[in-house]
Amino acid sequence: MTNLAIAATGLRKSYRDKSGDKVVLDGVDLAVPEGTIFSLLGPNGAGKTTTVKILSTLTAADGGDVRVAGHDLARSPDEVRGAIGVTGQYSAVDKLLTGEENLLLMADLGHLSRRDGRRRAAELLERFDLVEAAREPAATYSGGMQRRLDLAMTLVGEPRVIFLDEPTTGLDPRSRRAMWEIVRELVAGGVTILLTTQYLEEADELADRIALLDRGRLIAEGTAEELKRRIPGGHVELAFADAARLDAAVRAVGVGTADPEALTLRVPSDGGVRMVRDLLVLLDDQCVEVAGMSVRTPDLDDVFLTLTGREKETVR
Ligand SMILES: Nc1ncnc2c1ncn2[C@@H]1O[C@H](COP(=O)(O)OP(=O)(O)O)[C@@H](O)[C@H]1O
Ligand SMILES: [Mg+2]
């Protein structure tokens, strides 16, 4: 059996406000094997940050059991704190300090010796491509650089389990890709990552397993492939120059939905290369000329829509 870096069962949390108790987490179970990336995916307000805060000891749950890095969170919060790093949705970077000073401050807080602290800071500046900016105030950094510094600060203490709460929200595509690369390297180095995101694409790209959180409940869990398999929606759409060719294609293929107005034929598909090739070969054998083609592979947006019945605008 693989060891779990994070195991939570029956997490519950409510906040009290004017209108009474508001249930934010309604019985969430999580199991994250060591050395993997687990993504908690959900729209704004789903309860992602609350989950991260509870698992990282920053907020107390109303109910549920949690073990992180082998320690019981209720009984041994200090041991849990010693094993984890958290990069929150809101940065821990002190913008008045330089990047290097921020890192040295973390080393001080982590009780590293001055020498070890300097060595660790230098390593991290190098690794996160911040050497040139190391002596500049963090206020002058771009959004992507601040996120990298923030993550570097988390790593000063060499945590085994890292919580990344929306690490790429608001970043431009290039900075986002740079962050993805860093996350992959971390996991290759053996750490475990719980990553929250609103971006279905990001979970798809990075995570070994994905849980969809919606209004405080997990509505689905699995690999990206497993989640995609749960939903229909993939197809190949073929376009034809005229009605005669469309009719010939309908006869040749035998399945799918023809649109005589648009002169298209939509054939259900997993979007795989083999299926698309076979389809084109079949039409070619029948001498049916295809004017255009598009392939639609089901993605996680489809999963969300199928499972919640709501459009993805609420997700992005
Ligand atoms: N300290 C708090 N007091 C009251 N309500 C809160 C508090 N923190 C979070 N909430 C509410 O809990 C819900 C989930 O919030 P959060 O965990 O931040 O979601 P997410 O990170 O997925 O956007 C939201 O409706 C939010 O308004
Ligand atoms: Mg949040």
Q: Is 102 in the pocket of ligand 1 (CB under 6 A)?
A: no
Measured in angstroms, how far is the CA atom of residue 198 from the centroid of ligand 2?
Answer: 9
Measured in angstroms, how far is the CA atom of residue 166 from the centroid of ligand 1?
Answer: 14
**Residue 316 scores a pLDDT above 80:** no
Residue with CA nearest ligand 1 atom 25: 45
Strands across the sheet containing 161-165: 84-87, 161-165, 192-197, 37-41, 209-214, 217-222
Q: For the segment 138-192, what is each residue's pLDDT rounded down to a tens digit?
A: 999 998 899 999 999 999 989 999 999 999 988 889 889 989 999 999 999 999 9
Strands across the sheet containing 257-259: 257-259, 264-268, 235-239, 292-296
Q: Which atom in ligand 1 lies closest to the alpha carbon of residue 46?
A: 22
Measured in angstroms, how far is the CA atom of residue 137 from the centroid of ligand 2?
Answer: 27
Q: Is 49 in the pocket of ligand 1 (CB under 6 A)?
A: yes
Measured in angstroms, how far is the CA atom of residue 299 from the centroid of ligand 2?
Answer: 23
Q: Is 42 in the pocket of ligand 1 (CB under 6 A)?
A: yes
Quick one: what percent of the chain has pLDDT higher than 90?
Answer: 72
Q: For the segment 217-269, what is each residue's pLDDT rounded down to a tens digit?
A: 999 999 988 887 776 667 899 999 999 999 999 999 998 899 999 999 999 87
pLDDT bucket at 66, cuts 50 / 70 / 90: very high
The residues, any chain, with a CB within 8 Å of residue 162's CB and separated by 6 or more, are: 84, 85, 86, 87, 154, 155, 186, 191, 192, 193, 194
What is the DSSP secondary structure assignment for residue 303, as one 8-state letter? H
pLDDT at 165: 95
Choose the residue to mutate in 12, 23, 24, 163 for probing ligand 1, maximizing ligand atoms within 8 Å of C-beta.
Answer: 24
pLDDT at 300: 67
Q: Is 24 in the pocket of ligand 1 (CB under 6 A)?
A: yes
pLDDT at 232: 67
Q: Which residues surround ligand 2, an ion (CB under 5 A)?
A: 48-49, 89
pLDDT bucket at 314, cuts 50 / 70 / 90: very low
**Residue 201 scores a pLDDT above 60:** yes
Residue with CA nearest ligand 1 atom 8: 50
Contact 300, 203 (CB under 8 A): yes
From 20-29, 84-93, 211-220, 287-296, the region with the lowest mean pLDDT: 84-93
The residues, any chain, with a CB within 8 Å of residue 296's CB and separated by 6 or more, are: 233, 234, 235, 236, 237, 271
Q: Is 107 in the pocket of ligand 1 (CB under 6 A)?
A: no
**Residue 204 scores a pLDDT above 70:** yes
What average pLDDT does this structure show over 289-309? 80
What average pLDDT does this structure show over 1-27? 91
Name the more confident of 197 and 235.
197
Give the DSSP per-residue string, 134-173.
TTSBGGGS-HHHHHHHHHHHHHTT--SEEEEESTTTT--H
Amino acid residing at 303: V
Q: What is the mean pLDDT of the chain?
A: 90
CA dist list (Å): 11 to 47, 217, 288:
11, 10, 58
Closest alpha carbon to 97 in 60, 47, 133, 49: 133
